[in-house]
Every structure is written in C-alpha cells, then in structure tokens.
Amino acid sequence: MPGLRIMTYNVRAFSHHRDGLAAIEAVIAASAPDIVALQEVDSAGSDLQTLAQRLGMRLYLAPGRCGNAFLSYYPLHHLQSFSLSEQGCCLRAELDFGQKRMHFYNVQIDGAQQHKEQIDSLLGDDLLGAQHLGIPSLILGDFGCNRSGAFNWDLLLALQRVSKPLVHGTYPAWLPLLARDRAYILGELRVLAIEVVRNRLARQASSHLPLLLTVEITDLRKFLKITPSFPARKLEIAAG
C-alpha cells in the first residue's frame, strides 16, 4: 500500500502575503500532498472553496467555531470540531484507506496563558484519551509556543512525536527558530519521510512554514500457525 503525503499548514487566513490565496495555493500544489490540515482559516470564507476547487481537492469543515479545515483527495468521514479550553481547537476526521482506518486530529493551540489547559483538553477523554480502540492516529498542527516548554512533557508522555527533520523550525517563516508545527502518532503508523517546506514562496506565503509527512498504516493482520488437534494417520485405501 503506498504512503500518504500529508501536510499541516497554518495559512493565517490568507492574509500574510499580498497575493494571499494564490500564494498558499502555489505552496500546496508544489508539494502535491494527498491531505492538507489547515489552521487559522476561520476568516477566509469563500476563499477556502476557491482554494479547494483550484487544487482539485475536497474541502472538509465541521460545525462550530473551530478555525481548522481539511483538504483531501480521499473522502473523509465523521468530522467533529472540539474546543480546547479558551482559544484552541481540534478538528477530527476519519479516513478509510486500503481497507484500513485512520484518525486525523488537526490541532491549533493558541494563547500563551492557556497552553496547559489546551493540552489537557486535547489529551482528555473526549479526544485522545478515548483512543481505546487502537485506531492508528496522526495528530498534527500548530502547537503554539510556550517559553517554559513545560506543556511538551505531557504530549511526549502520552504520544509519540514524529522524528524531527534535520532543520525543523517552522516559525516565523522568514527566520524559523521555533518548531510550532509538529506531528505526533498513536498506534500502528510508520513515518516514511518528513520535511519542512522551506522554499522562497513558502517563506513569503504565511508566517508559518508547512510540514510535509509521508506515512503508512502498518499491516495489523496476524498470521496464525494452525496445529491439528488430532494425531496424523497413514493413508488407507477406501473400501469398494
């Protein structure tokens, strides 16, 4: 089964670059992702529909005040938006891919004073704490920044962070010193490749650089050796 190319990108409502929508479109198109997790799109309105149409992708939003969205070449199901404490949000979706199921959590953590509360909400029973079914999950997005860095311990204890690329800063785009845009995994997922898109246009299109991953779902099937429960006998010629 081929890997999925997945991008996470905070587009800052297409307002960072003078060409806005066109610049973001060019950055995404050049990387050719299968699925894009977008953050800070709540003020974009019809721009999202236009972006999806130009890229030939489907747009996925959920009711609520969450400013996140998905663009995808594959059909996504069961979209739900969740508030994370004060200013953060999470958009969850499911993907059936190659007869396997995968969960996506598109996260935006915001507000320096509420980092701990937002991380606690993300790890709570309504979201990642409810992953008792063992469905492979990719948790990605803008995890904000906290000068103390304390909230990262909660994430690292609960989740497996995807290995950092050699150059992993994504913010601010013109001098990316902070790895705000990250990815974590739960369950049977394998990351085949990861990179920060650092070309000239990406540095101009938004204050965040996009993170691009290639992942595959590990085959969960078990092949059991069947042992006969009766003793083997020599073949005999049937009568008649």
> What secondary structure does DSSP assign to 75-102, as a single string?
-EEEEEEEEETTTEEEEEEEEEETTEEE
Candidates 70, 63, 113; CA nearest to 88 is 113
The structure tokens 């992953």 sit at 131
Percent of the chain at pLDDT exceeding 70: 83
Taking only the tens place, the pLDDT of each residue in 17-63 is 888 899 999 999 999 999 999 999 965 567 899 999 999 999 999 87
Q: What is the mean pLDDT of each run of 10 residues along the chain (240 residues)?
A: 89 89 96 97 77 96 87 96 86 89 93 77 86 80 70 72 82 93 92 95 96 86 41 44
- In this prediction, residue 131 carries a pLDDT of 60
| DSSP letter assigned to residue 118 | H
| DSSP letter assigned to residue 128 | G
Gyration radius of the chain over CA positions? 22
- In this prediction, residue 222 carries a pLDDT of 38
- Cα 133 to Cα 147: distance, rounded to the nearest angstrom: 35
The structure tokens 């007869």 sit at 99
- pTM, two decimal places: 0.86
| Backbone angles phi and psi of 218, in degrees to 5 | -65, 140
- Cα 178 to Cα 107: distance, rounded to the nearest angstrom: 17
Question: Domains along the chain?
Answer: 4-217 (3.60.10.10)
